[in-house]
Structure 1
């Protein structure tokens, strides 16, 4: 019997460890939730990028605004990389 590949989920356990889903139902409840979370992370990253670009374009922006924008951008980049790793696992068959 072939085993379904594990799907890396876009969130960690409370202990900070990666979570995986083992199922042969790609349209199942948890798979759908993971798809929604991935879409939300990408949407948030797009909004953060717009805000960061606005701060960078504002020559009067102070250090606090730039640090805030960079902090949010780094968080969003981490999320987008997580989504990329999740999707890479689904296309390559590896978790």
Structure 2
């Protein structure tokens, strides 16, 4: 994402910092770390889609064990946390764009 106004925004990254806290990047929307974050988000969203397909199969399998279902639910929880972070990050960037547009 290139920011046409050259305004720097704080982007929530799709990974935690070393202390487990959210990690932010001050960026104009272009650069090496931005591309890595974009790629990581793409991978996370792709994995979420694949996991949904797997869970759908698991839920229709009458022979699925409670351990299999529990494991699938744990992975779904992790995936939902990633997708939520991506949505928050993208939403914040959209709001930042709206604020930038209002300044013009």
Q: Which residue of 2 aligns with 1:93?
A: 96
Task: Name stretches of at least 5 consecutive residues in structure 1 with no aligned partner.
Answer: none
- The number of residues matched between the two structures is 92
Partner in structure 2 of residue 19 of structure 1: 23
Query: Is 2:60 aligned against 1:70?
Result: no
Q: Structure 2 length normalisation: TM-score?
A: 0.82
> Which residue does 2:8 correspond to in 1?
4
Name 2:45's counterpart in structure 1: 42
RMSD: 1.6
Runs of 4 or more off by more than 6 Å in structure 1? none
| Larger RCO (CA within 8 A; separation ≥ 6) | 1
Provide the rounded CA distance (Å) in 2 between the counterparts of 1:76 and 1:19.
Answer: 18
- Gaps (5+ residues) in structure 2? 1-5, 98-104
How far is the alpha carbon of 1:27 from its aligned partner?
2.5
